[in-house]
Amino acid sequence: MDTCISTSYFCAVPLLEDIRALDHIGQAKVCKAFAKWLDRNPNVDSMFIERFRETFGDIDCDEPDESVEFIHYAVNDLDSSLTFIDYHSPMGFLDVVEILSPVIAEAKADCGR
């Protein structure tokens, strides 16, 4: 089932479904946007976010075709991180949604979906 892009996500599940529906290039862009958000929000921390930082560090965003395996790992860690933020910091989650929604929409448009 292909989900429509939302301008607002109220929980992590539909957001993650849309991220997982993207190709690896779109997923790399989403991971990069989330990593930038984390840099601007250093007080948000958990074991899941640390794992995401580690796996994201292995992605070559300039050559995503060379990092497909690491992109898949980072998306799995992104899943855990967003679920953690959604549960523990609902306002923080809405802040993340504001950053990621346009990136997802652009990636879907680039894929011709």
Supply the DSSP string of 37-75, one letter for each residue. Answer: HHHH-TT---HHHHHHHHHHTT--TT-GGG-HHHHHHHH
- The pLDDT value recorded for residue 2 is 43
Element at 12 (helix H, strand E): helix 12-21
Enter the tokens of residue 55. 């796996």
Q: For residue 78, how many C-alpha atoms fall within 13 Å in the half-sphere facing its CB?
A: 30
Report the b/e string of 56-90 with b at 16+ CB within 10 A.
beebeeeebeebeebbebbbebbbbbbbbbbeeee
- The pLDDT value recorded for residue 49 is 95
- The pLDDT value recorded for residue 6 is 45
Assess contact for 107 and 26: CB atoms under 8 A: yes
Report the b/e string of 92-104 with b at 16+ CB within 10 A.
bbebbbeebbebb
Considering the entire predicted model, what is its pTM?
A: 0.88
> Which stretches of the chain drop beneath a pLDDT of 50?
1-6
